[in-house]
Structure 1
């Protein structure tokens, strides 16, 4: 797989991609705080607008600095998640980060169906679904993505979409996504950064609250080494 480097995690079933090299301390702090925010958000139900505001507001209480927030309604048909992400972010997604994310998505789609990461990702899509995941031909759901740029900028995205059953990892790179035609925003974006000095106040509290969730809900995804 070509450079730039990607470092990939599943955080409570949500994809986080670190583009290029970052310190272990920064990665751990971003992962821990976003995991706690995700777990707290899951208690609020399936409303995408409410879950988005709950998640982003919670991060703000843990030393994340908000630098911009936006929401829009995107139209797309027979696209994959990478294409929808690129459409929504437009010129804000640098080429190097775009390639790093593509590398990460490619690595995720090569995981075995029975792997813990695949199960976690699909489970989260099912939890976010607003239609049956058992018998309906199509499913309306949403996913949360976190992208950490080379300069430590954090881009957090919530993308809602419709797709066909069954839910599989190939939504990342296969043309399976259709925009939900209900007039609501289906793409939300937050640009932020972690105030590393301020986060010193919260680190021990966050890790205590998480407990064993750090081991069970944070999954590191190794990149293939054969390319």
Structure 2
């Protein structure tokens, strides 16, 4: 990809990628509202369906209007996050935008080990579980990334959830997890919305006040040149 513009953030561990520089919605409104909704949702297990239900509910209270939402199940199969996004959005995004996603994931993978942005992503992308129905304790992990793609007039949030035998790391972004390491089917939720900015104007300062220092500690701008930029 040559000089294609995109803006990439890790927001409370979730990937937020602006695929256009002329979005109708300001960057800070997207980041601040999604951060507040994510923090509210963190009262639930990050891998639970309740987390995403609460996230969408909170975003609705912050004037994000649902255009479309759907849930589906994918049969167990080798999977990387990039493959998943390509399959889910290939009919919606242009080849150039799909290429931006690949470049963005490569940028995240290149972050220094232990960097705040990478650590936050890995902390939020999965949770550890124990299968209590088995006689012997059987530990596994639920992988549950959420990716938000911001377009000119809307944003698309996609959430993937499935169980694996071993914890994943940043390689999962564009390297497949073998099918034999995946337990059962994969759950997919997709939510498309736009911000009613005239209504959000009355809430903007309250959102900023509620976030407080979290604006500086839970939002990371990621770029090849500087892996952390405060916003």
TM-score range, shorter chain: 0.7 to 0.9
Matches within 5 A, 1:52-201: 52-126=52-126, 128-131=127-130, 138-149=140-151, 151-163=152-164, 165-176=166-177, 178=179, 180-181=183-184, 186-201=187-202
Q: How far, CA to CA, are the matches of 1:177 and 1:152 in structure 2?
A: 37
Q: Greater helix percent: which structure?
A: 1
Counterpart in the other structure of 1:214 = 215
Cα gap change, 1:168 to 1:136, in 2 (>3 Å)? farther
List per-residue Cα deviations over 1:11-67 (Å, max 9, x = no partner). 001110001214697110000000000000010234632111111111011111110
CA-based RMSD of the aligned residues comes to 2.5
Relative to the length of structure 2, the TM-score reads 0.85
CA contact under 8 A between 1:6 and 1:103: conserved in structure 2?
no
Task: Show structure 2 runs of 5+ residues with no match.
Answer: 132-136, 227-231
CA apart distance, 1:90: 4.2
Counterpart in the other structure of 1:14 = 14
Q: Tell me which moved more, 103-112 or 154-163.
A: 154-163
Relative to the length of structure 1, the TM-score reads 0.86
Q: How far, CA to CA, are the matches of 1:97 and 1:54 in structure 2?
A: 29
Task: Show structure 1 runs of 5+ residues with no match.
Answer: none
CA apart distance, 1:194: 1.3
CA apart distance, 1:88: 2.7
Q: Tell me which moved more, 92-101 or 103-112.
A: 92-101
CA contact under 8 A between 2:142 and 2:164: conserved in structure 1?
yes
SS of 1:84's equivalent in the other structure is helix
Counterpart in the other structure of 1:204 = 205
Q: How far, CA to CA, are the matches of 1:177 and 1:199 in structure 2?
A: 44
Cα gap change, 1:29 to 1:16, in 2 (>3 Å)? same
Q: How far, CA to CA, are the matches of 1:4 and 1:50 in structure 2?
A: 36
Q: Tell me which moved more, 75-84 or 23-32.
A: 23-32
List per-residue Cα deviations over 1:64-102 (Å, max 9, x = no partner). 111000000012422210101222334123323211111
